[in-house]
């Protein structure tokens, strides 16, 4: 009888919009994992196929690519965290809104975690020579 | 590794002592805070309100759960990272390179002994490694059968010997003496007995030994 | 919408109880083997887990006895190698995960206000696989054929050449069998948590233990498949000579390490997180106030779960991977300390703001604190790469992981067992014996393992059956061995306490700890049906906010207060909000789980004994048993009595709707499958690009278009199935059978295409790792395509028999998920294994 729907229902969920959907709890860090594998795997493949000259140290096209990708993802995650937080603030602060607010705020924290994790994990690319 | 005889082991041992100190402090502090939390309110007449508890809780959580680990980890990374550079075999011109390229020694692990070869002079040894004091050597590590691990704790960290690959670790002894090397990756029945003697000789003595050894070209027993 | 009106007639609790017992009661005698009720199955899981713990613990004692003195002859190298391999493997696979799944199976429906888990027969099946697999695996010890290559079974040591004999096969086959149990239980738990809760209980109101089991079980679903794949590949290498890990044939021993650690690092968090969930349940009760920072704790656990998948190479820091790549893992390994720290300080904050009382469970929680934090700190040290290069593979690591595993899992588990013991048995344990047991264990543990850090720093490697005298290792080893006996006495004292309390413990009151969560309302010991009526829950602390809940539940004042219709049922809710959607009907006692488990055990034995032709026959029998079991589902009369017309207004039985547990279960199974397939594709790309000397031919032996055709065929079958479901939703079941037969035909054609590719590709899997991977992929796709076709055909037959129809439209959508997987998997194989290599031409 209850309609099977993925769109948010009426009331507090609508206030949060698409950003309040529970999938966001998993999306941020899942994408972080994809980024992580792409970075680690990409560096491994690049080192096997076309390693930059070690004399360049950490200033080379590979590290630059890693850092650029990391910066992009960090910003994206940061934006997602911000959007989720705003969505949480839009939900009315009553008992019915407790659930959607919880989801949106938790999603925000998880996107922030993804942003921080991306930035910190990529940090060594500023200092270390690849492929050696 | 707590009695270092080379720059790599020395640097790592230093980091260890700092880490031990820091960890002990953190452990004692956390346990004290926990026990204090268990005891202080036992007979309290009134409890903190929910909002007060939430605010205090936020301080505990952010301070202890985020700030503390971040500070500790940052300190570890900032002060400790250089410790790893000593045994990476980087040529001197490269950033991070620790010095001139070392004498090359090929070490091959097999069940259950170490075969050593000095390619420059053709010398072969069995379960024995000789190196000059004060000069780095580049150990090229490989395996003929299963995975072993080459490790001389007083000189530096280990490197796995993996069939199909060769890895390079740079070691240096800063004092003469006899050290112990032991296989550090489980490799079967006699893994516990796969030991190597490492002899660090003063540089001139080493050169003499190498020269005389290569002249007679005595090879170690090949059967095991 | 789900509750009977407040004016519903009050029922006599005794009468209500009898009505429910008639439907839910457990038979005695040999018929008890057919029981599927979660309480019974969970108790079996926990008891069996304790037995394996004791066996593995005894093995640990043997190790310490041997190492007490240098040069001892107590055990020779061969025996020692078997003993340490079995000690580690049994603790990790036969104790740590199953016992916590057992605790979860016992507690979760009660905590969540449900009558049972979502898949009772699957739970029972999971137990039988665990029991039979565990017996087969452990018997290898008695036969002197135990695996002896270490619990992580590195190749080439574990390959045929260096480990001839059955030991490694016992590990690969036995552990894979047990992993089936773990995966099944995990799927059961996830679906139960998400869809079978009390009305109105949103995700944000679940007990923290439910969150921890949800996260852990999802980690199991995604994290175990890489190991399952690796085990299958290694067993193929051993049994059929296929090259995967052999560097002389284009393979790589490191591929095994990557696959293994991809699983094994998350595994340690799979072991830790449930225990952390237990601590989060105990601390608020004994602090006598709600948990401070509920959302922080939930977010931290989710964060830990995900980040733990990015740490695996920190077990491989000594392998020679370039510094920058290692640094990524070092950073992530240090990062993961933060969410754990957050949970820790949330507990401290709760105690700080509360009025804590001491009790036996809290004693164990405090022990956990000291030991686990110490272990976590040495973990951060190990994440620091240069230090790791020194202590990797030494007793320092052995000390570290015993600190985090025993401190982080065993201590909270024992605390939890003491906490819930009055619930399970209805009696209280002895305070004095319990405290003695705690102190002996705590002192014994620290005496054994604290000094072991030092032993490792002195240079003693792991896994050595003896050592030379005079290295300074003698005294530390002796101290460790002596204290290990103290710890053993501690465990023995606990066992004594447990055994005696069953007879002599005083009767427990209804809620002895004045706890807040719902499980304490299901009876101590619990009723077979948990709750006579299902309350609406709108708070995190049901028993603190409504202390009379146990009475109103027993009087039938809430939802679904009858069982006279003969059905076992519980409420099905929306995963996030807890709004009621349907009524889930649950199967009663059944012999199928036992028969299926026994058939699989037979298959395991046949493969072990290398009787491959009989194994094929047994495998087919196993498939037949599983399919016959699946026949008694949905609208089949034995699955649910009646059509559910007696349900409250607006509610239907789940199999008369388009959604239900099976849909979610199939979805999660496909997730596991996807994780396995992703690992396979990773292996393909790895062997192709990174392995030194990898051999890849310039032209793909698979041909350019063959796999595209297969994808198209599976895709067409998928489309046909989806069309059938769309028409059902629109209200028509005309032509349903036709659609299903068409899908079957398309699937069979797809399989035919795969067979054609196999025949024409002229692959040589025993000569080249590249060919072995391709061959394996084709067989993988073939297996899935065949299964999809068989299931579609079965659906057609069920339509013919009337079990699937317009008023029971549930199942085709479930089967469609498998077809989706087949289509995507074929497409990926085409793209990555046929097209991509040709785009790159000859190898570098």
A129 with C685: Cβ contact below 8 A: no
Q: Is A126 on the interface with C (CB under 8 A)?
A: no
Mutation to test the C interface, candidates B164, B166, B188, most C Cβ within 10 Å: B164
Q: Report the share of chain C in percent with pLDDT over 90.
A: 87
CA distance A127 to chain B (A): 10
Name the residue among C212, C220, C366, C337 with its Cα closest to residue C274.
C212
Taken in order C787, C792, C796, C798, the sign of the CA dihedral is: positive
Set of chain B residues whose Cβ sits within 8 Å of the Cβ of A128: 96
Q: In the prediction, which pLDDT does C820 show?
A: 97
Which of B81, B88, B93 has the CB atom closest to A132's CB atom? B88
Contact assessment for residue C424 and residue C484, using Cβ atoms and an 8 Å cutoff = no
Find the radius of gyration of the CA atoms of chain C: 27
B157 with C389: Cβ contact below 8 A: yes
| Average pLDDT of chain C to the nearest whole number | 93
Mutation to test the A interface, candidates C294, C310, C346, most A Cβ within 10 Å: C310
Q: In the prediction, which pLDDT does B194 show?
A: 96
Which of A1, A26, A106 has the CB atom closest to C298's CB atom? A106
Strand partners, C536: C199
Strand partners, C583: C571, C653
C386 with B15: Cβ contact below 8 A: yes
CA distance C344 to chain B (A): 7
β pairing state of B128-132 and B195-201:
parallel
Instruction: Indicate the SS3 state at residue C675.
Output: helix
Instruction: Indicate the SS3 state at residue C201.
Output: coil
B90 with A55: Cβ contact below 8 A: no
C465 with B192: Cβ contact below 8 A: yes
Cα–Cα–Cα angle for C571, C573, C576, rounded to 5 degrees: 155
Size of interface B-C (CB pairs under 8 A): 248
pLDDT in tens, C611-643: 999 999 999 999 999 999 999 988 888 887 777
pLDDT in tens, C700-755: 788 888 999 999 999 999 999 999 999 999 999 889 999 999 999 999 999 999 99
Spatial separation of the C-alpha atoms in residues C325 and C348, rounded to whole Å: 36
Nearest C-alpha in A relative to C692: A48
Helix axis angle, C253-287 to C661-689, nearest 10°: 140
DSSP C51-80: HHHHHHHHHHHHHHHHHTSTT--SS-HHHH
Spatial separation of the C-alpha atoms in residues C240 and C234, rounded to whole Å: 10
C459 with B56: Cβ contact below 8 A: no
Q: In the prediction, which pLDDT does A8 show?
A: 44
pLDDT in tens, C107-162: 999 999 999 999 999 999 999 999 999 999 999 999 999 999 999 999 999 999 99
What backbone torsions phi and psi does residue C697 show, to the nearest 5 degrees? -70, 160
Tokens, residue C401? 């992981």
Which of A58, A127, A132 has the CB atom closest to B90's CB atom? A132
Spatial separation of the C-alpha atoms in residues C129 and C127, rounded to whole Å: 5
Q: Is C390 on the interface with A (CB under 8 A)?
A: no
Spatial separation of the C-alpha atoms in residues A45 and A64, rounded to whole Å: 16
Spatial separation of the C-alpha atoms in residues C251 and C139, rounded to whole Å: 32
What backbone torsions phi and psi does residue C379 show, to the nearest 5 degrees? -65, -45
CA distance A58 to chain B (A): 8
CA distance A27 to chain C (A): 11
CA distance A68 to chain C (A): 15
Which of C320, C337, C355 has the CB atom closest to B165's CB atom? C320
Contact assessment for residue B20 and residue C454, using Cβ atoms and an 8 Å cutoff = no
CA distance B62 to chain C (A): 7
Nearest C-alpha in B relative to C334: B73
Element (H, E) at B110: strand B103-110
C690 with A48: Cβ contact below 8 A: yes
Name the residue among C343, C394, C388, C389 with its Cα closest to residue C369.
C343
Instruction: Give burial (CB, 10 Å; 0-12/13-18/19+) of A94.
Output: exposed
Q: In the prediction, which pLDDT does C75 show?
A: 92
pLDDT in tens, C296-315: 999 999 999 999 999 999 99
Size of interface A-B (CB pairs under 8 A): 18
B90 with A127: Cβ contact below 8 A: no
Which of C204, C339, C580 has the CB atom closest to A102's CB atom? C204
Spatial separation of the C-alpha atoms in residues C390 and B2, rounded to whole Å: 10
Least confident of A29-33, B116-120, C203-207, C303-307: B116-120
DSSP B7-56: HHHHHHHHHHHHHHHHHHHHHHHHHHHHHHHHHHTTT-SSPPPHHHHHHH
- Touching subunits of B (3+ CB pairs, under 8 Å) are A, C
What backbone torsions phi and psi does residue C568 show, to the nearest 5 degrees? -90, 125
Return the exposure string of C563-574: e unless at least 16 CB atoms fall within 10 Å of the residue's CB, then b.
Answer: bebebbbbbbbb
Residue C778 pLDDT > 70: yes
- Touching subunits of A (3+ CB pairs, under 8 Å) are B, C
Cα–Cα–Cα angle for C778, C784, C787, rounded to 5 degrees: 140
Tokens, residue C261? 């650690």
Element (H, E) at B132: strand B128-132
Mutation to test the C interface, candidates B3, B165, B178, most C Cβ within 10 Å: B165
Q: List residues in chain B touching A: CB distance below 8 A.
A: 81, 88, 90-91, 93-96
- The CA-atom distances, in angstroms, between B51 and each of A96, B36, B56, C287, C353 are 20, 22, 9, 17, 11
Which of C339, C346, C462 has the CB atom closest to B57's CB atom? C346
Spatial separation of the C-alpha atoms in residues C337 and C379, rounded to whole Å: 9
Determine the average pLDDT of the residues in C494-504. Answer: 93
Determine the average pLDDT of the residues in C275-301. Answer: 96
Q: In the prediction, which pLDDT does A7 show?
A: 43
Size of interface A-C (CB pairs under 8 A): 116
The pTM of this model reads: 0.95
B90 with A129: Cβ contact below 8 A: yes
Nearest C-alpha in B relative to C247: B164
Tokens, residue A129? 């020579």
Spatial separation of the C-alpha atoms in residues B63 and C216, rounded to whole Å: 27
Per-10-residue mean pLDDT, chain B, length 224: 89 93 95 92 73 86 90 84 77 57 89 93 92 93 96 94 93 94 95 96 92 70 40
Which of B2, B15, B165 has the CB atom closest to C387's CB atom? B15
Which of B39, B65, B183 has the CB atom closest to C338's CB atom? B65
In this structure, the number of other CB atoms found within 10 A of the CB of residue C633 comes to: 19
Spatial separation of the C-alpha atoms in residues B137 and B140, rounded to whole Å: 10
Name the residue among C547, C112, C568, C188 with its Cα closest to residue C560.
C568
* DSSP state, residue A91: S
* DSSP state, residue B199: E
Q: In the prediction, which pLDDT does B99 show?
A: 58
CA distance B211 to chain C (A): 32
Q: Could you tell me if the ipTM is greater than 0.95?
A: no
Task: Name every residue whose Cβ is closer than 8 Å to that of residue C7 and which is 6 or more positions away in sequence.
Answer: none
Q: In the prediction, which pLDDT does C843 show?
A: 45
Residue C7 pLDDT > 50: no
Bond before C156 cis per omega within 30 degrees: yes
DSSP C620-670: HHHHHHHHHHHHS-TTSTTTSSS-STTSPTT--BGGGSS--HHHHHHHHHH
Spatial separation of the C-alpha atoms in residues C569 and C653, rounded to whole Å: 9
β pairing state of B103-110 and B137-143:
parallel
- The CA-atom distances, in angstroms, between C104 and each of C117, C364, C415 are 10, 19, 15
* DSSP state, residue B180: E
- The CA-atom distances, in angstroms, between C269 and each of C361, C406, C415 are 22, 13, 19
**Within 13 Å, how many C-alpha atoms sit on residue B19's CB side?**
27
DSSP C425-454: HSB---HHHHHHHHHHHHHHHHHHHHHHHH
Name the residue among C463, C476, C316 with its Cα closest to residue B2.
C476
Residue C86 pLDDT > 90: yes
pLDDT in tens, C586-607: 999 999 999 999 999 999 999 9
Which of B53, B158, B190 has the CB atom closest to C392's CB atom? B158
B70 with C254: Cβ contact below 8 A: no
pLDDT in tens, C347-368: 999 999 999 999 999 999 999 9
A110 with C303: Cβ contact below 8 A: yes
Q: Is C610 left (phi over 0), alpha (psi -120 to 50) or beta?
A: left
Residue C78 pLDDT > 80: yes
Determine the average pLDDT of the residues in C209-217. Answer: 98
In this structure, the number of other CB atoms found within 10 A of the CB of residue C704 comes to: 12
C247 with B163: Cβ contact below 8 A: yes
Name the residue among C639, C692, C678 with its Cα closest to residue C804.
C639
Which of A1, A29, A130 has the CB atom closest to C322's CB atom? A130
A36 with C310: Cβ contact below 8 A: yes
Which of B33, B83, B164 has the CB atom closest to C692's CB atom? B164
Residue C5 pLDDT > 80: no
Set of chain C residues whose Cβ sits within 8 Å of the Cβ of B183: 461
In this structure, the number of other CB atoms found within 10 A of the CB of residue B96 comes to: 17
pLDDT in tens, C419-443: 999 999 999 988 999 999 999 999 9
Residue C695 pLDDT > 80: no
Set of chain C residues whose Cβ sits within 8 Å of the Cβ of A123: 331
CA distance C461 to chain B (A): 6
Determine the average pLDDT of the residues in C520-530. Answer: 90
Contact assessment for residue C47 and residue C134, using Cβ atoms and an 8 Å cutoff = no
Spatial separation of the C-alpha atoms in residues C737 and C799, rounded to whole Å: 6
Spatial separation of the C-alpha atoms in residues C669 and B76, rounded to whole Å: 42
């Amino acid at each position: 009888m209850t309609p099977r729907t993925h769109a948010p229902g009426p009331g507090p969920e609508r206030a949060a919009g698409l950003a309040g959907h529970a999938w966001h709890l998993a999306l941020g860090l899942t994408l972080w994992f994809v980024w992580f594998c792409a970075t680690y795997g990409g560096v491994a493949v690049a080192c096997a196929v076309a390693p930059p000259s070690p004399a360049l140290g950490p200033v080379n096209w590979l590290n630059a690519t890693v850092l650029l990708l990391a910066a992009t993802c960090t910003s994206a995650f940061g934006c997602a965290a911000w959007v989720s937080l705003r969505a949480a603030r839009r939900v009315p602060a009553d008992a019915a809104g407790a659930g959607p607010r919880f989801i949106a705020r938790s999603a925000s924290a998880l996107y922030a975690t993804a942003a921080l994790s991306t930035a910190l994990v990529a940090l060594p690319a500023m200092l270390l020579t690849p492929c050696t | 590794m707590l009695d270092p005889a080379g720059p790599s082991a020395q640097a790592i041992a230093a980091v260890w002592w700092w880490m031990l100190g820091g960890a002990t402090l953190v452990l004692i502090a956390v346990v004290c805070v926990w026990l204090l939390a268990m005891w202080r309110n036992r007979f309290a007449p009134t409890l903190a309100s929910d909002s007060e508890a939430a605010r205090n809780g936020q301080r505990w959580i952010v301070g202890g759960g985020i700030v503390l680990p971040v500070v500790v980890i940052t300190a570890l990374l900032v002060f400790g990272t250089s410790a790893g550079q000593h045994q990476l075999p980087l040529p001197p011109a490269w950033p991070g390179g620790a010095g001139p390229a070392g004498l090359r020694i090929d070490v091959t692990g097999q069940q259950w002994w170490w075969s050593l070869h000095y390619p420059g002079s053709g010398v072969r040894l069995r379960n024995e490694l000789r190196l000059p004091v004060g000069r780095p050597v580049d150990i090229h590590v490989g395996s003929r059968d299963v995975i072993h691990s080459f490790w001389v704790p007083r000189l530096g960290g280990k490197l796995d010997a993996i069939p199909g690959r060769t890895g390079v670790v740079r070691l240096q002894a800063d004092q003469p003496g006899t050290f112990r090397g032991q296989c550090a990756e489980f490799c079967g029945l006699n893994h516990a007995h796969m030991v190597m003697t490492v002899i660090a000789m003063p540089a001139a003595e080493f050169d003499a030994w190498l020269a005389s050894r290569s002249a007679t070209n005595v090879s170690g027993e090949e059967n095991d | 919408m789900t509750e009977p009106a407040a004016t519903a007639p009050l029922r006599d609790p005794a009468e209500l109880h009898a009505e429910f017992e008639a439907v839910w009661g457990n038979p005695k005698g040999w018929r008890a083997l057919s029981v599927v009720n979660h309480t019974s199955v969970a108790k079996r899981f926990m008891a069996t887990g304790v037995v394996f713990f004791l066996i593995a613990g005894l093995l640990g004692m043997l190790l310490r006895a041997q190492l007490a003195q240098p040069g001892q002859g107590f055990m020779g190298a061969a025996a020692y190698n078997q003993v340490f391999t079995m000690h580690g493997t049994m603790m990790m696979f036969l104790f740590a995960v199953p016992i916590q799944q057992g605790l979860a199976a016992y507690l979760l429906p009660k905590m969540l206000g449900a009558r049972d888990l979502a898949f009772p027969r699957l739970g029972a099946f999971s137990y039988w696989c665990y029991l039979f697999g565990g017996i087969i695996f452990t018997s290898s010890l008695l036969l002197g054929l135990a695996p002896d290559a270490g619990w992580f079974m590195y190749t080439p040591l574990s390959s045929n050449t260096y480990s001839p004999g059955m030991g490694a096969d016992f590990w690969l086959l036995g552990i894979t069998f047990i992993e089936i149990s773990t995966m099944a239980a995990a799927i059961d738990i996830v679906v139960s948590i998400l869809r079978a809760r009390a009305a109105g209980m949103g995700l944000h109101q679940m007990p923290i233990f439910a969150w921890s089991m949800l996260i852990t079980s999802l980690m199991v679903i995604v994290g175990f498949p890489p190991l399952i794949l690796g085990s299958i590949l290694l067993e193929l290498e051993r049994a059929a000579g296929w090259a995967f890990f052999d560097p002389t044939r284009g393979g790589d021993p490191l591929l095994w390490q990557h696959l293994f650690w991809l699983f094994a690092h998350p595994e340690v968090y799979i072991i830790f997180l449930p225990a952390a969930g237990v601590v989060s349940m105990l601390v608020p009760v004994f602090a006598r106030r709600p948990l401070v920072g509920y959302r922080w704790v939930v977010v931290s656990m989710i964060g830990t779960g995900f980040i733990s998948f990015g740490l695996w190479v920190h077990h491989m820091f000594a392998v020679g991977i370039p510094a920058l790549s290692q640094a990524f893992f070092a950073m992530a390994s240090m990062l993961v300390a933060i969410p754990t720290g957050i949970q820790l300080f949330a507990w401290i904050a709760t105690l700080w703001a509360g009025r804590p009382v001491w009790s036996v469970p809290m004693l164990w929680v405090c022990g956990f604190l000291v030991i686990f934090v110490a272990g976590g700190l040495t973990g951060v040290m190990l994440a620091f790469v240069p230090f790791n290069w020194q202590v990797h593979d030494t007793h320092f690591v052995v000390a570290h992981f015993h600190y985090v595993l025993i401190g982080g899992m065993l201590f909270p588990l024992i605390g939890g067992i003491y906490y819930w013991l009055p619930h399970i048995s209805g009696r209280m344990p002895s305070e004095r014996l319990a405290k003695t047991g705690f102190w002996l264990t705590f002192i014994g543990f620290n005496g054994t393992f604290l000094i072991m850090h030092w032993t490792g720093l002195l240079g003693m490697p792991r896994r050595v059956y003896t050592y030379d005298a005079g290295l300074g290792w003698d005294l530390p080893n002796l101290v460790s061995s002596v204290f290990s006996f103290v710890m053993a006495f501690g465990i023995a004292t606990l066992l004594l306490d447990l055994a005696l309390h069953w007879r002599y413990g005083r009767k427990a009151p209804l809620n002895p700890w004045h706890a807040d969560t719902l499980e304490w309302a299901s009876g101590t010991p619990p009723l077979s049906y948990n709750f006579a009526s299902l309350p609406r829950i709108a708070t995190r602390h049901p028993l603190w906010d409504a202390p009379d809940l146990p009475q109103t539940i027993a009087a039938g004042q809430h939802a679904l207060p009858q069982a006279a219709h003969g059905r076992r049922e519980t409420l099905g809710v929306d995963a996030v909000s807890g709004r009621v959607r349907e009524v889930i009907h649950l199967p009663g006692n059944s012999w199928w789980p036992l028969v299926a488990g026994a058939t699989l055990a037979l298959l395991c034995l046949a493969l072990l004994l290398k009787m491959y032709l009989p194994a094929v026959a047994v495998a087919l029998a196993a498939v037949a048993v599983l399919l016959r079991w699946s026949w008694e589902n949905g609208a089949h009369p034995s699955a649910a009595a009646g059509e559910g017309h007696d349900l409250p207004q607006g509610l239907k039985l789940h199999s008369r709707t388009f959604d239900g547990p099976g849909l979610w279960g199939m979805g999660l199974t496909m997730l596991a499958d996807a994780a396995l397939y992703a690992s396979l594709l990773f292996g393909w790309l790895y062997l192709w690009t990174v392995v030194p000397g990898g051999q890849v031919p310039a032209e793909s032996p698979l041909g350019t278009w063959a796999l595209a055709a297969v994808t198209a065929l599976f895709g067409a079958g998928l489309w046909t199935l989806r069309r059938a479901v769309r028409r059902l939703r629109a209200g028509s079941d005309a032509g349903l059978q036709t659609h299903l037969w068409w899908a079957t035909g398309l699937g069979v054609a797809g399989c035919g295409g795969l067979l054609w590719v196999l025949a024409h590709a002229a692959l040589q899997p025993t000569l080249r790792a590249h060919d072995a991977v391709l061959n394996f992929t084709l067989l993988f796709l073939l297996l899935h395509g065949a299964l999809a076709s068989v299931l579609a055909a079965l659906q057609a037959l069920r339509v013919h028999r009337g079990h699937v129809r317009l008023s029971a439209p549930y199942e085709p959508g479930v089967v469609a998920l498998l077809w989706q997987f087949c289509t995507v998997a074929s497409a990926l194989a085409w793209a990555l294994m046929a097209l991509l290599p040709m785009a790159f031409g000859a190898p570098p």
